Structure 1
Amino acid sequence: MSEALLNKLKQVKLAVFDVDGVLTDGKLNFLADGSEVKNFNTLDGLGIKLLAQAGIQTAIITGRRSPQVELRAEALGIDYLYQGREDKLTALKELWQDTGLKADQTAYIGDDLPDLAAIRAVAFGATVNGGHQFVATHADWCTSRTAGNGAGREFCETILAGQGKLEALYSEYL
């Protein structure tokens, strides 16, 4: 990891996640009654909990509205949830107002064009392996894991490693 990237990670106090294409594999599954099914990965969930243990606030900004996302956010203790927000940068600016935090204290992970402005606006802008290539050219970092398969966990652990907190969190499980 470069020195410049480490310096960005050390300042992070807020980690923001897109949902579809980051915390899920991006596929939209609908049942016959029109209800939606989302699959979340437990690896990502524990990563988010590790961020909270380290004192890093968490947020979700997603373009779609889904009761499944609300349930998942509640189960993980996500601090802020913004659903139905196509303009991710505007939502991110509202989040900064709500938290009192700033761009240089924020990490964001997204996968597609609606996430691009937010990725470019933060200290540590990340994308997922398999996300849109144009987004990857503007991100600070890209996961090796794919969306819905631990990419969120990798993002969390990269932040924690950059802050020198990951090993201590791991040791609690020994």
Structure 2
Amino acid sequence: MSSDLLQRGKNIKLAIFDVDGVLTDGRLYFLEDGSEFKTFNTLDGQGIKMLMAAGVQTAIISGRKTPVVERRAQNLGIAHLYQGREDKLVVLDELLGQLNLSYEQVAYLGDDLPDLPVIRRVGLGMAVANAAAFVREHAHGITTARGGEGAAREFCELILRAQGSLEAAHAAYL
């Protein structure tokens, strides 16, 4: 973990996640009746919960809209959910105005081109290991884990470590 990433993570007050390819493996599953399902990693969910317990707010911004994501956000207690929003930078600006935060206080984890404007704008913009190559090139850092396979947990723990909260988060379970 680079000192630059730890420095960037120190002042994060809001962590934002893309869904497809970040909180999931990026595959879309459609049933015959038109409904869809996604699989989420429990390690990622626990990381998000630890981050929130440490006082970092969380949000999801997704270009797609599905009830499954709404249910996942509710299960985790993620208060800020934006679905069906292709221009994620516009959503970021709305959210920052609402929460009275600056770009430098935001961390974002994404995987594809629609995420890139936000990744480049925020204080800590990261890509998952299997993100599009162009996105990885422009991110501040890249997780070792792939999307849907613990990348969000890694991202959360990086922020917790940068803020000196990771040991306390782990100690709560000892």
> What TM-score do the two structures reach when normalised by structure 1?
0.98
2:84 is aligned with 1:84: yes
Provide the secondary structure at the position in 2 that maps to 1:144.
coil
The residue number in structure 1 matching 2:97 is 97
After superposition, residues 127-138 of structure 1 pair within 5 angstroms as 127-138=127-138
Moved more, 3-12 or 28-37: 3-12
CA positional deviation for 1:98: 1.4
> In structure 2, how many angstroms separate the alpha carbons of the residues matched to 1:134 and 1:3?
23
Residue in 2 that maps onto 1:150: 150
Partner of 2:40: 40
| C-alpha distance after superposition, 1:104-127 (max 9, x if no partner) | 100000000000000001000000
Aligned residue for 1:11?
A: 11
Deviation at 1:97, TM superposition (A): 1.1
Alpha-carbon distance in structure 2 between the residues aligned to 1:6 and 1:69: 29
Q: Distance in 2 between matches of 1:7 and 1:42?
A: 27
TM-score between the two structures when normalised by the length of structure 2 = 0.98
Query: How far apart, in 1, do the equivalents of 2:67 and 2:106 lie?
Result: 26
Cα offset, 1:4, TM superposition: 3.2
Identity of counterpart residues, as a percentage?
Answer: 59
Q: Which residue of 1 aligns with 2:69?
A: 69
Deviation at 1:7, TM superposition (A): 2.1
Cα deviation 1:9-36 (Å, max 9, x = unaligned): 1110000000000000000000000101
Q: What CA distance in whole angstroms lies between the structure 1 residues aligned with 2:4 and 2:72?
A: 33
What are the superposed Cα offsets for residues 30-70 of structure 1, whole Å, 9 maximum, x if unpaired?
00001011101100000000011100000000000010000
Return the offset for 1:80: 0.3
How many angstroms does 1:5 deviate by? 2.6
RMSD across aligned positions (CA) = 0.8
1:168 counterpart residue number = 168
- How far did residue 102 of structure 1 move? 1.1
How many residue pairs get matched?
A: 174
**Please, which runs of 5 or more residues in structure 1 have no aligned partner?**
none
Distance 1:117 1:69, change over 3 A: same
Q: Alpha-carbon deviation of 1:8? A: 1.3
State the one-letter code of the partner of 2:90.
Answer: T
